Each structure stands twice: as structure tokens, then as C-alpha cells.
Structure 1
Amino acid sequence: MLIIYGIPACNTMKKAFDYLNEKGIPFTFHNYKKSGIDADQLSYFIEQLGEDTVLNKQGSTYRQLNDAEKANLDTFTFLQEKTSAIKRPIFVLNNRCFAGFKPEELDVWLTN
């Protein structure tokens, strides 16, 4: 079963939910705000997607850090504590991961 990771208030997440529902693709939702993220799952995301992809540098959570904090950032600990800084959404299916919401790329990923 497809699992989608993120936070419900995110506009990109809402687009992803609508996309999956319109296509009739069943999924479960892992809400970081309610459930957090365990170390193994976060490690898996970083291993599969890379730290630069998993850390959402465009979001306000990261941008609020000052330059010194960014320079000395322990990304793993930061993402565990500030799950809103994790790229959204992250899709997991059959031990494969896909980050972000790009419908054309997601279509290809879902069919492979």
C-alpha cells in the first residue's frame, strides 16, 4: 500500500491527496504532527533520497534559522525535532521513495 508522509495543513499535501483520490489510488497517510517520525524511517528517507532532498530548504522552518545555525546544522536531529522541515510529500511504495509533488513524474514512479 502507498504511504504518503507529511502534514495535513500543507497546500502541496492537499494537492497530492486530491491527485491520488482522483486517480483512485488507495493510500495511508502518516501525519508528522501527530505521529512524528522515527529514526529508522528518517534514516531510510535520507538513504533513499539524499539529505538535500529530504531537508526542505524552501520552507519557513529552515529559512528562520540564522546563518550560524544553518552552518552548524545537525540535519538528522533537526528533522526529527522539526518535522515540518521535511520535504512534502514523501511517498513510499514497495520500499521505494518519491519526494515532492510533480504529477507527471509521480505517474511514472507509480507505474514502475
Structure 2
Amino acid sequence: MNKIIVYGIPNCDTIKKTLDWYKNKNIGVEFVDFKKSGITKEKLGYWSKKVGYEILLNKKSTTWRSLETATQQKIINEEAAIQLMLEYTSIIKRPVIEINDNVIVGFNETYFTKQ
């Protein structure tokens, strides 16, 4: 049986959609609210190695857009991106889903249905 962990924040519409999708399919998941529980540098590093920091960093987020241009321009590598995501968890693209050793970022119903 697959162990599925969904990371995000509960008031995010995409998180709600993701959790509802799993619930409607009668698939149990563990939800981790990283606004409350925080997220570790190690976890962000693991995700980044799996999918790339460019995928994790949500440049469409309100938080990203509100950052000073100079701060945005400092994100030139994984280490800089992880430091920024630790400081501003709202710029982590949601959801981040761990299914066993796989990491999926974002909700894509077509992809989920094929799994």
C-alpha cells in the first residue's frame, strides 16, 4: 500500500481540491500543514533533489510577487531557493505530495487518475 503525504496549508484552494480528490477516491492521506509545523531544510533539499528547486519555487504566488526585485534576483541556485522557502513558506508550490519515494508538486487530476 502506498503511503501518501500531502504537504501544504489548509486554506489553499489547491490543497482543498487535492484532499477532496483523495477523499472522493476513498484514499487515505496524511496532511502536513507546513505553516503550523514548519518545514525543514532537509525536507526542502530532498524535494529539490527529486523535482528541482525551480518547480518548488512558486513564482506566481502573491508572496513571491511582493518580494523586492533584488531578493528575487538572488535566487540563482538551490541553496538560495531553499533559504528563501524556509523564510517564506508561502512561496512553496502546493501541494507537495510524497507517494513512497516519489515527489509530485501541484495538483493535476489527469496525472493523479493515471496513478
Q: Could you say what the CA RMSD is over the residues aligned between the two structures, in angstroms?
A: 0.9
User: Structure 1: any 5+ residue segments left out of the alignment?
Assistant: none
Structure 1 outlier segments of 4+, above 2 Å: none
Mapped to 1, the partners of 2:87 and 2:44 lie a distance apart of 11
Q: Indicate the residue corresponding to 1:84 in structure 2.
A: 90
After superposition, the C-alpha distances for 1:51-95 in whole angstroms (9 at most, x for unaligned) are 110001110111111221111132111101111110100110111
Contact residue 32 and residue 84 of structure 1 kept, 8 A: no
Give the match for residue 4 of structure 1: 6
Cα distance in 2 for residues equivalent to 1:107 and 1:80: 31
Aligned length: 109
TM-score by length of 2: 0.90
**Structure-1 separation of matches of 2:8 and 2:90:** 8
Match of 1:51 in 2: 53
Equivalent-residue separation in structure 2 for 1:46 and 1:38 (angstroms): 12
- Name the residue aligned to 1:38: 40
Gaps of 5+ in 2: none
Identity across aligned pairs (percent)? Answer: 35
Task: Give me the TM-score of the superposition, normalised by structure 1.
Answer: 0.93
